[in-house]
Amino acid sequence: MDTFSDNRLTDAQNELYEWIKDYMKNFQHSPSIRQMMYAMRLKSPAPIQSRLKHLQDKGYIKWQEGKARTLQIIEKISDVIPILGSVAAGGLIETYSDVQENLDISDVLKQKDVFALTVNGDSMIDACIADGDMVLMAPITNPYSIRNGTIVSALVPGLGTTLKYYVKRGHKIFLEAANPNYDPIELNPAEVVFQGKLLAVWRKV
């Protein structure tokens, strides 16, 4: 007996399921049964309820009985990815079995005014930020709040923008690379504008 056949969807069920997911992605809330009815070109809510029950039995959705528009999709939402375990990048470790938790990148993405920059060059290579990486940054509103060791994008007017470690010593600010081939840049606080601090690194291969 195929364990998957239990959860397999009929065409009608699958069409409804895909439509629901699309609706909820667009509107951030559940559709009503009558909306699904129209979308499925039906003229009575009964078939929809039947399909919803099947989708529920097969573990695709759930809802709060009697409550309007309370569907929930049971599965990874957009930005949640199952973390299946750890991999050794040194020796070998035991295999992973099942989902441990979910990788949720939304907490970074949903922050206010997050922006991304493309990295050029290798001055941060020892911080594992490589040429071509995307760095996700949060705007810096208060330069005095930056802590030493933070990776920031800084604009030095007339010169340009750079990604470096922020280090403040006395009244001087040093922008230090994570690559010994580059010398620190020494600046007065008035000479530099800090644009963002590093939240995350994204590398697509």
Partner DNA sequence: TGTATTAGAAAACATATGTTTTAATGGATA
Partner DNA sequence: TATCCATTAAAACATATGTTTTCTAATACA
Please say which residue, 27 or 115, places its beta carbon nearer to DNA: 27
Question: Choosing from 164, 168, 197, 204, which is the catalytic residue?
Answer: 164
Please say which residue, 90 or 170, places its beta carbon nearer to a copy of itself: 90
Residues of this chain that bind DNA (CB under 7 A) = 10, 12, 32-35, 42-47, 49-51, 65-70
State the nearest-atom distance from the C-beta of 119 to a copy of itself, in Å.
Answer: 5
Q: How many C-beta neighbours within 10 Å does residue 98 have? A: 7
State the nearest-atom distance from the C-beta of 14 to DNA, in Å.
Answer: 12
State the nearest-atom distance from the C-beta of 1 to DNA, in Å.
Answer: 18
Q: Which does 203 bind (CB under 5 to 8 A by kind): DNA, a copy of itself, none?
A: a copy of itself
State the nearest-atom distance from the C-beta of 134 to a copy of itself, in Å.
Answer: 6
CA distances from 155 to 90, 125, 196 (A): 38, 20, 10
Q: Which does 12 bind (CB under 5 to 8 A by kind): DNA, a copy of itself, none?
A: DNA
Q: How far apart are CA 36 and CA 20, in angstroms?
A: 8
Question: Choosing from 25, 53, 112, 123, which is the catalytic residue?
Answer: 123
164 is catalytic: yes
> Rounded to 5 degrees, what angle do the CA atoms 77, 114, 199 make?
85
Q: How far apart are CA 171 and CA 144, in angstroms?
A: 12
CA distances from 8 to 3, 45, 49, 59, 99 (A): 10, 23, 18, 10, 21
204 is catalytic: no
Q: Which does 167 bind (CB under 5 to 8 A by kind): a copy of itself, DNA, none?
A: none
Residues serving a catalytic function are 123, 164
